[in-house]
Amino acid sequence: MFLFLTDYINTISNQDLNELLNGDPSMDGDQVRLKQEVWAQNRISSYIRQRYNVALVFAPWLPWSLSASYTIGQYFQYTENAFSTTSIYGLNARVSYNNAIYSCTTPVTTAGPFNSTNWTYVCDDLQIFTCIAASTNNYPDNTAYFSQSDPRDADVIKIMLHIVIYELNNLIVPAQIPEQRWINYNNKGNPRKGDGSAIGTLLGWQEGTLMAYLPIYQDEDMGQSVSWGSNLKRNNSY
Give 38's contacts (C-beta < 8 A, 6+ positions apart).
1
Report the pLDDT value the prediction gives residue 201, as an integer from 0 to 100. 96
190 shares a domain with 161: yes
Residue 84, domain member (yes or no):
yes
Residues spanned by the domain of 118: 69-147
Residue 49: count other Cβ atoms within 10 Å of its Cβ.
15
94 shares a domain with 124: yes
Report the pLDDT value the prediction gives residue 59, as an integer from 0 to 100. 93
Report the pLDDT value the prediction gives residue 176, as an integer from 0 to 100. 86
3-state class of 83 per DSSP? coil
Strand intervals (E) in 79-167: 94-97, 100-104, 119-124, 127-131, 135-136, 146-147
Sign, CA dihedral 125-131-132-135, equals positive
95 shares a domain with 27: no
Residue 160, domain member (yes or no):
yes
Q: Are strands 135-136 and 94-97 parallel, antiparallel or unpaired?
A: unpaired
51 shares a domain with 74: no
Residue 211: count other Cβ atoms within 10 Å of its Cβ.
11
HSE of 227 in the Cβ direction (CA atoms, 13 Å)?
3
Number of separate domains in the chain = 2
Residue 234, domain member (yes or no):
no
Task: In whole angstroms, give the CA distance from residue 23 to residue 150.
Answer: 32
96 shares a domain with 43: no
Residue 156: count other Cβ atoms within 10 Å of its Cβ.
24
Compute CA 4 distance to the chain's CA centroid, rounded to the nearest angstrom: 4
**HEC string for 147-187:** ECCCCCCHHHHHHHHHHHHHHHHHHHCHHHCCHHHHHHHHC
Per-residue model confidence as pLDDT tens for the chain (238 residues)? 899 999 999 899 999 999 888 888 888 888 999 999 999 999 999 999 999 999 999 999 999 999 999 999 999 999 999 999 999 999 999 999 999 999 999 999 999 999 999 999 999 999 999 999 999 999 999 999 999 999 999 999 999 999 999 999 998 888 888 999 999 999 999 999 989 999 999 999 999 899 899 998 776 544 444 444 334 344 444 3
196 shares a domain with 170: yes
Alpha carbon distance, N-terminus to C-terminus of the chain: 29
| Domain stop point among 101, 121, 147 | 147
Sheet holding 94-97, edge to edge: 94-97, 100-104, 119-124
Q: What is the CA radius of gyration of the chain?
A: 22
Residue 219, domain member (yes or no):
no
Give 69's contacts (C-beta < 8 A, 6+ positions apart).
134, 135, 136
Give the CATH number of the domain where residue 128 resides: 2.10.10
Residue 166: count other Cβ atoms within 10 Å of its Cβ.
23
Residue 226, domain member (yes or no):
no
134 shares a domain with 16: no
142 shares a domain with 78: yes
